[in-house]
Structure 1
């Protein structure tokens, strides 16, 4: 491909992908003309708005130079423990997950894709199925395995990915008699390396938060039917009564990230035992964004999982879960013993393309 063709395709990409819905990371300007012809100046300024370090306007002349596209990637590390074994394990992008990772009833995956779209997925199997004779980890791990395989092939947005993966799981049960019985929460994040757009879909009480300059600037919304009963995807024989929500019930968001943003994705075992101020404190020990290495992310993920583990065992600890229980009219003291999965990722600058 020639240089002119590359520039032309880049400009076309920016116009179609950055307009009209990136005036704000959270708002869409309904008055904007859909058929408006955008000038190169418009496109250039939008590119700067997404990746402000990419362009030095002091050097910009007229006519404008070729478009500069900032390329970023999610670097990540995952850690967690099962409430049964309680041994904290860790993995990272250095050893990309060939399959999903399990921490007790939790399951997760991280996919750094060569086609410039990264994925993080996390699911928490509902433990009540164990009382009915089913392993709660089977449903969550099967769902994550299907999600990962589909993300690697189709490059879908999280909402569509959850829907397609759930439907495939149902098909395997009904047509192939796989007997994947159970339910789980699910949270999927996708990251576009060329735009920095993070697209998320969350169903239940697992979730994520985004930290910039030491502050939480965005987070997922917890979805529950009532206290400690999260929304969930499920499958079971018709003879069993169970809670089942639809993929369309997931909450979808888009967010424009900046290089250096930190993203913590976790099951409720972390958020129920570790308050925001402690999360931020642990993240503050990370080096400056452009100096964060995989081992730094591994250390932070392990520390967060360890904090959750320690607090869960403390019968006198005033945990976020205990405070939520009190607000809901229940008496509860101490931490919440649960499986924990946490993935710490950073938006890393890979350089520019022209």
Structure 2
């Protein structure tokens, strides 16, 4: 999780043990008592000396995603789904998650429900759609959240993660309600598209804007903040990604990392973030003065474009994953799963896509690809490794290395316990009928 508002200290987000994140669907894990107690004591000490804040710093360097668009800018039309001689792709998605305070349960912390069928229901408006989602049945993923959905009646798919900013807890708010609400509205907006839209294309940045607008107007969500990383994936293999903050996206193919997002941060441990300030806090600020809350806009998201191929793997995850696993770590975990299950095979020193990929991604019941599916096993493997690494006091992860770089006096070693959410999409080229 990240700090709810930018702190005047560099360890602002660190002070909150990173954002508590809620999502549309999340996993929750608990730590073992022995390791958890060590991290709790260490984190509590840092929190005492470096309190997280919800307020913007007067000056700070902006670190934007400097990665170039993978295939450059292009026209991205979600209505162009006619079958042709060009390859057609489907995206097979699963999510695994874990709340910081819970034990990891591979079977319970898994979401593989099929995309919404738009032919079976109508959506009056986004608020009505969101209200049909029972808050009590949300994934037990803490302040992290995730979603995936079919885009209207098209063959495009939208998916992503949101990470609630933990600093809002100090203001008596649940950051998870904001991040889960954001993902729920993105799900509803994707399902209902192009209803209410005056454009012929759906971009992830626009999807995020619609959801953010709905959250700010929803009185049931008092306030909070969140980062977000999401995509709209087309059946022609074009994938557009929007990232705001320090959740991130990874594109793998042929046992290689093709793209990894760079986090957007205002300062160390202080990511770009969407936020909603409660009216009571606005009144207090007006009466007593003080700094304003940090609130970035969806339009500030870093946007990249990617062309996928048969057998590629797309990973969207919150910082609970990326603070503990480097791109190389994630590549090793995913490659191991893909090779062991036969999705990738080695021939003549090169990695190729296995012939059984279609059967692997469809593995499960007649209604949905279940826990035996390839995407489910890969998602669980990522979440499990991130969880175990976060509790390991001897293995320095990316977050520990960053603390050592910027704050060597803190003597931080080991992983970083946090909420975790990982969404995995396996790309399958459809065989012409």
Normalised by the length of structure 1, the TM-score is: 0.76
Separation (CA, whole Å) in 1 of partners of 2:116 and 2:264: 30
Does residue 150 of structure 1 match 2:189? yes
Q: Residue by residue, what CA displacement relative to the aligned partner does 1:138-187 show, whole Å, maximum 9, x if unpaired?
A: 00011111111011112521011111211122222xxxx33431000011
Separation (CA, whole Å) in 1 of partners of 2:100 and 2:229: 21
Pick one of 178, 190, 198 that aligns with 1:139. Answer: 178
Structure 1 252/101 Cα, relative in aligned 2: closer, same or farther at 3 Å? farther
Does residue 82 of structure 1 match 2:99? yes
Q: Which has the higher strand share?
A: 1
Helix, strand or coil at the partner of 1:258: coil
Aligned residue-pair number: 290
Choose 300-309 or 324-333, whichever is displaced more. 324-333
Helix, strand or coil at the partner of 1:165: helix
Q: Residue by residue, what CA displacement relative to the aligned partner does 1:23-64 show, whole Å, maximum 9, x if unpaired?
A: x943359xxxx9xxxxxxxxxxxxxxxxxxxxxxxxxxxxxx
Give the equivalent residue in structure 2 for 1:200.
241
Structure 1 230/94 Cα, relative in aligned 2: closer, same or farther at 3 Å? same
Shift of residue 309 of structure 1? 1.0
Pick one of 311, 317, 321 that aligns with 1:266. Answer: 317
Q: Which has the higher helix share?
A: 1
Helix, strand or coil at the partner of 2:178: helix
Separation (CA, whole Å) in 2 of partners of 1:277 and 1:220: 14
Normalised by the length of structure 2, the TM-score is: 0.63
Does residue 110 of structure 1 match 2:152? no
Q: Residue by residue, what CA displacement relative to the aligned partner does 1:194-237 show, whole Å, maximum 9, x if unpaired?
A: x2100011100001100011111112221111111111000013
Paired residues of 2:115 and 2:150 also in contact (CA < 8 A): no
Higher relative CO (Cα under 8 Å, sequence separation at least 6) belongs to 2
Separation (CA, whole Å) in 2 of partners of 1:203 and 1:136: 16
Give the equivalent residue in structure 2 for 1:53.
none
Shift of residue 253 of structure 1? 1.1
Give the equivalent residue in structure 2 for 1:46.
none
Shift of residue 104 of structure 1? 0.6
Give the equivalent residue in structure 1 for 2:56.
none
Helix, strand or coil at the partner of 1:260: coil
Shift of residue 251 of structure 1? 0.5
Does residue 159 of structure 1 match 2:205? yes
The within-5 A match list for 1:335-354 is 335-352=415-432
Pick one of 149, 162, 168 that aligns with 1:129. Answer: 168
Separation (CA, whole Å) in 2 of partners of 1:279 and 1:209: 9
Helix, strand or coil at the partner of 2:87: strand
Structure 1 248/214 Cα, relative in aligned 2: closer, same or farther at 3 Å? same
Paired residues of 2:73 and 2:305 also in contact (CA < 8 A): no
Structure 1 82/273 Cα, relative in aligned 2: closer, same or farther at 3 Å? same
**Bigger CA radius of gyration:** 1
Shift of residue 67 of structure 1? 5.2
Structure 1 191/126 Cα, relative in aligned 2: closer, same or farther at 3 Å? same
Give the equivalent residue in structure 1 for 2:402.
324
Shift of residue 80 of structure 1? 0.9
Does residue 246 of structure 1 match 2:297? yes
Choose 97-106 or 225-234, whichever is displaced more. 97-106
Structure 1 70/133 Cα, relative in aligned 2: closer, same or farther at 3 Å? same
Separation (CA, whole Å) in 2 of partners of 1:257 and 1:301: 19
Does residue 298 of structure 1 match 2:373? no
Q: CA RMSD in A?
A: 2.4
Does residue 218 of structure 1 match 2:256? no
Structure 2 residue runs without a partner (length 5+): 1-68, 76-82, 118-131, 195-201, 286-291, 344-352, 362-368
